[in-house]
Structure 1
Amino acid sequence: MTKPIRSLTTLLMSVLRPFWRGVLLSMLLGVLTVASSIGLMMTSAWLISKCALQPSIADLGVSIVAVRFFGISRAGFRYLERLVSHNTTFRVLAKLRVDFYRAIEPLAPARLSKFQTGDLLGRVVADVGSLQEIYLRAIAPPVVALVTAVAVIVLFAAFNWLTAFTMLVFLLITGIALPLYAERQSQSVGRALIDNRAKLNTALIDNIQGIADILAYGLEDERTTSLETLSDTTAVLQQRLTLVESVSTGALAVLVNGAALAVLVSALPYVDGIFLAMLTLGTFAAFEAVMPLTDAARHGIVSVNAAQRLIDVTHATPVVVDPAHPADPPTTFDLVISGLTFQYASPSVPVFDQLDFTVPQGEHIAILGSSGSGKSTLVNLLARFWEYSAGSIRIGGVELNMLPQTTARGLIAVLSQQTYLFNTSILDNIRIAQPTASDAAVIAAAEKAQLAEFVAQQPDGYDTLVGENGATLSGGERRRIALARVLLTNAPIVVLDEPTAYLDTTTERAILTTMFDVLAERTLILLTHRRTLLERVEHVYRVEQHRLTKIR
């Protein structure tokens, strides 16, 4: 299991460590690019100044070759630097998305229940995408700038210490003072921008998923106004960041030109005239390494805020964890619940208090209860989505929380009222329940769920795409695909929450006949209110006053 990510440093180290060669190579290529640029400008300036003295061509041979070398190498190094850095960045982003998913998967559903779907989607897409700025604009540029600045100061000191000191002052102002200004101005705006983007993403996803209800209740104008407000706020915040960028860019231009003039003035009394142009143009080239630092500070703030939103999710520890010393899987499947106590963090009233309940292997029972009575909570406890605080749940004499989660969930197949369908084929949506199942087995499960006639009407048959969350299907069709998933599994215990919801009478009757035949040898727990189902089970229980009461 992936360890929780608790700090930005941990986050960066975990994703950059596998690609350290690419990171170092891109930084080296960045330094070589700037060095080639400085070499090109300084050599060209010296060559032009020397030509004014009309020397022999032999005296210019080395400098001419150097100009050609630096000109070609600068383009080559820049191309390689962009190639390596972007390749590394995309690999880092891919790993980060996978790591983020692996980190949040054990948190579902207990720890993720406080987050909205759109918010989580925004974090895994937009916030992770923002982190590319950390490497491209916040990590590599300072390293390149530091190495280049040290080399330039040493080079200028070889001509005159005052010139080197002048250059140092302007490099410090441009590389430290100006980025600090940009960071301070961008800090609150960057945080607000990330938060507002998250709200906008959440609102968009909620509106898309609930478009039918919005249209049915005539809420189009209200939702449109809300989206426009969020969009306008995002645009205003982006404009404020752009203003900081504009001010920084203007100040940068003034500083670069001022540095060139100051270097020229400081060098006049001490440096041979043939080297004056060389130092002046070298100053312009040297600032190529320092200029990105202002952007690094501005984009770094946005990226750090995005990273913090990821850390806010991943720092949590899962509610349910695998045991350190797991028990062997059971060979019999009697379900025995004794003294079960469970309550959510809020409200503090327990859902179950000393609940006792036994279902012998192969028995079919039904559980009744009003909304909020705890039926779904019982299913979540059996599926190991939540951890019970006291008591015992045993299958075949083995404590449920002493089994690995995958093993425990392999013993119990659950059909909930909210089943997600992926935007893939009908065949693959059913196969999710048993990834190793053959096409024939999947089709057989679909036929048992009364899907054969519907599939036969589709142009692509079982290869028909169902759309996001089954958007192209009716409620009954989605329900039958979910039921086919359960029928495909070999789980000895099956829990069905209103299995015939959204089905017409004819289809319901056919499915019930098939379902009870297929599940005749398995333990079946029905959560339902339909009398047609109650008549087919051996015993009926009701959830009331935090316990199960047998009523038949």
Structure 2
Amino acid sequence: MNPSANASQTAAAASEVRSDLDSLKRIWALAGPQRGKVLRGIAFRFAQSLSLGLAFGALIWVVTGLADGRPLSWVWIAQVTGIVALSLGGQILFGYLSVTHSWLSSYQLAGGLRLSILDRLQRLPMGFHLSRHKGDTVAVLTTDMEMLESFISDALPRIAQAFGLPVIVLGYLFWRDWTVALAALASIAVAAPVFLWSSRRLAKLGIRRQDMQAEAGARMIEYVQGMAVIRAFNRIAKGQESFLDALRDFRDISVRMTAQLSMPLVLFGALLMLGAPLVFVVASARYFAGDLDAGTLTAALVLVFSVYTPLLGLIAVMELTRMADASLTRIDRIMTAETLPEPAQPKAPQGFAVTFDDVSFSYTPGAPVLEKISFTVPERTMTAIVGPSGSGKSTILNLLPRFWDVSAGRITIGGGDIRQISEAQLNALITVVFQDVYLFAGTIFDNIAFGRAGASQDEVEAAARAARAHDFITAMPDGYHSRVGEGGTTLSGGERQRISIARAILKDAPIVLLDESTAAIDPTNERAIQEALARMVADKTLIVVAHKLSTIQSADQILVLDRGEIIERGDHESLLALNGRYNTLWSYRAQAARWRVGQS
């Protein structure tokens, strides 16, 4: 990774770092209905630590009693045994209750949060998704959520447990001699700032580490998905290089994290444990001065390590805590990303005519893709859009269903601005048939039925017949229950396209956006798809991005785009008569039709 990238990542990580208290507040806000279980899990783990304190109390009772000359008796032994048994029983009971509540709450919280993230993802503009690696979003839903689960189920209760026994012991020492107790507290007060500083430093590195882990995951997905291309061009070594680079970056940041934190954490432990000799010196000095009895001296010497040893356990959970905080930061990037605004009072469109009114749009500031585009598609008519690559054809299709919002101007359906139509209603009005078809890993039936919730077998089959897909589906061993593989890899391009058209037919929306689906299809499939499309678009408001001009000769109007502007408009015959850009494109199409392999 280059230095400028490192600098920008460092700045980004620093701006996202939260204090431990802020992180706990954020987790508390996310916990929602699970807050009670989370609190009970922490309280039970604290009670488990207090139960351990009973055993230490029994030990001190015996030691101080013997130091004061108390003789052993069966009654005393029974009392001590009862306290130890009660301590053991409390540790088992409260440990079980803590695990039950903490683990259940962590799984339920993570499950609910995953659903919230998925809901948020579907409401975010396409620009958000296209600016991120697929692997980054996958990592949030898997690795980051697992890290958060581990923090709530394990680290958070362990933090509470680390303070239980020290609180009891320090309370006892304050009761017996406040000077000795203050000596025990002194090293904690000195070590605490080192711990907090180390934790904050780890937070910055933790965010970068999680980002690089997601980057490595994205590269792995890219490598696996592109395996066919990599092997076809004998570029296996080249394909591995990007993945290995991401893994090296992840390794380097992990090593750096360990190297940079080793000394501060060792210093924290050393400062903390210096309290032991300090307590020894203070307690001994007060004893020799006659201000401390032998029992209290003995108790202080025996208990001092029980104050510091549990606190040293915080080092073990610090990395998990900061990694969970880094994961929480990455989750917040999704949960706080700006969604497309929803109208406060949605308005229903009056009809299905589509109008682009002085529309401009840029994916990035200063790089306009569309410049003051205006046209109207009357209800139940067909408008075709043609032009060279990069002229803005697909952008027009993306703006109508609000994959992005316009930069200027407005788009209306039935006279109403699409920004004033609810998301659910807008989705119900529009069907999009993409050139690049995506099928979900499941059955053919599932993929077609995706077009309408609760569709019956008869409705799915009717849509498949209309899409000219029924015959090849029923010829498969499992018919409509045949599995298509991830992305539909078990089907040909033409078969995938016809299934996507069947899905669109089943939806039966009044407006159809078609990124022409026959550009890369063989003649046999092309004819079937054209027949299917003709059935689908009957009586629909249709906008087609055309790659084959032969398919749009009957369009009611044709728009010719160039560099984001409409330079010609009209039907096929009138545009040919203009002898302009459309006529030139038509001539190229005629020349291409006469081209043969081997022709010089």
2-structure distance, mates of 1:20, 1:288: 29
Structure 2: 5+ residue stretches without partners: 1-15, 573-600
The match for 1:387 among 405, 415, 437 is 405
> CA offsets per residue over residues 66-98 of structure 1, 9 Å max, x none?
011102211222222222222222222222222
Q: Which residue of structure 1 aligns with residue 133 of structure 2?
A: 116
The match for 2:226 among 200, 207, 210 is 210
Letter in 1 for 2:129: L
- Which stretch has the larger CA shift, 18-27 or 223-232? 223-232
**Is 1:440 paired with 2:461?**
no
The match for 1:337 among 332, 356, 363 is 356
Letter in 1 for 2:36: R
Pairing 1:330-409 to 2, within 5 Å after superposition: 330=350, 332-359=351-378, 361-409=379-427
Q: Which residue of structure 2 aligns with residue 220 of structure 1?
A: 236
Please tell me whether the aligned partners of residues 365 and 540 of structure 1 are also in contact (alpha carbons under 8 angstroms): yes
Q: Which residue of structure 1 aligns with residue 58 of structure 2?
A: 43
Q: Which residue of structure 1 aligns with residue 582 of structure 2?
A: none
Deviation for aligned residue 1:529: 2.6
Change (3 A) 1:473 1:429: same
Structure 1: 5+ residue stretches without partners: none
2-structure distance, mates of 1:246, 1:458: 61
> CA offsets per residue over residues 416-438 of structure 1, 9 Å max, x none?
12333222221111222211321
Q: Which residue of structure 2 aligns with residue 524 of structure 1?
A: 542
Instruction: Report the secondary structure of 1:337's partner residue.
Output: strand
What is the TM-score of this pair, normalised by structure 1? Answer: 0.87
Q: Which residue of structure 2 aligns with residue 28 of structure 1?
A: 43
**Is 1:482 paired with 2:497?**
no
Deviation for aligned residue 1:406: 1.6
Q: Which residue of structure 2 aligns with residue 199 of structure 1?
A: 215
What is the TM-score of this pair, normalised by structure 2? Answer: 0.81
> CA offsets per residue over residues 227-274 of structure 1, 9 Å max, x none?
233323423443454567776786677677665565455445255545
Please tell me whether the aligned partners of residues 558 and 570 of structure 2 are also in contact (alpha carbons under 8 angstroms): yes
Please tell me whether the aligned partners of residues 365 and 524 of structure 1 are also in contact (alpha carbons under 8 angstroms): yes
**Is 1:65 paired with 2:82?**
yes
Q: Which residue of structure 2 aligns with residue 451 of structure 1?
A: 469
Deviation for aligned residue 1:37: 1.2
2-structure distance, mates of 1:173, 1:132: 32
**Is 1:549 paired with 2:564?**
no
Please tell me whether the aligned partners of residues 142 and 293 of structure 1 are also in contact (alpha carbons under 8 angstroms): yes
> CA offsets per residue over residues 434-465 of structure 1, 9 Å max, x none?
11321221122122223223322433322222
2-structure distance, mates of 1:256, 1:375: 67
Please tell me whether the aligned partners of residues 63 and 299 of structure 2 are also in contact (alpha carbons under 8 angstroms): no
Deviation for aligned residue 1:407: 0.8
Letter in 1 for 2:570: K
- Which stretch has the larger CA shift, 202-211 or 6-15? 6-15
Deviation for aligned residue 1:414: 0.7
**Is 1:79 paired with 2:96?**
yes
2-structure distance, mates of 1:241, 1:79: 34
2-structure distance, mates of 1:491, 1:199: 39
Please tell me whether the aligned partners of residues 372 and 409 of structure 2 are also in contact (alpha carbons under 8 angstroms): no
Deviation for aligned residue 1:469: 1.9
RMSD: 3.2
Change (3 A) 1:101 1:472: same
Change (3 A) 1:532 1:185: closer
Deviation for aligned residue 1:146: 5.2
Change (3 A) 1:177 1:148: farther
Please tell me whether the aligned partners of residues 484 and 490 of structure 2 are also in contact (alpha carbons under 8 angstroms): yes
Deviation for aligned residue 1:220: 1.2
**Is 1:298 paired with 2:319?**
yes
Q: Which residue of structure 2 aligns with residue 325 of structure 1?
A: 345
Pairing 1:110-149 to 2, within 5 Å after superposition: 110-132=127-149, 134-135=151-152, 140-142=157-159, 145=162, 149=166
**Is 1:424 paired with 2:446?**
no
Q: Which residue of structure 2 aligns with residue 507 of structure 1?
A: 525
2-structure distance, mates of 1:496, 1:533: 12
Deviation for aligned residue 1:306: 2.9
Instruction: Report the secondary structure of 1:309's partner residue.
Output: helix
Letter in 1 for 2:105: T
Please tell me whether the aligned partners of residues 433 and 485 of structure 1 are also in contact (alpha carbons under 8 angstroms): yes
Please tell me whether the aligned partners of residues 386 and 545 of structure 2 are also in contact (alpha carbons under 8 angstroms): yes
Letter in 2 for 1:164: A
Deviation for aligned residue 1:466: 2.0
Instruction: Report the secondary structure of 2:129's partner residue.
Output: coil
Please tell me whether the aligned partners of residues 194 and 302 of structure 1 are also in contact (alpha carbons under 8 angstroms): yes
Letter in 2 for 1:322: E
Please tell me whether the aligned partners of residues 46 and 274 of structure 1 are also in contact (alpha carbons under 8 angstroms): no
Instruction: Report the secondary structure of 2:514's partner residue.
Output: strand
The match for 1:232 among 248, 252, 263 is 248
1-structure distance, mates of 2:448, 2:214: 33
Deviation for aligned residue 1:363: 2.0
Please tell me whether the aligned partners of residues 194 and 306 of structure 1 are also in contact (alpha carbons under 8 angstroms): yes
Change (3 A) 1:30 1:495: same
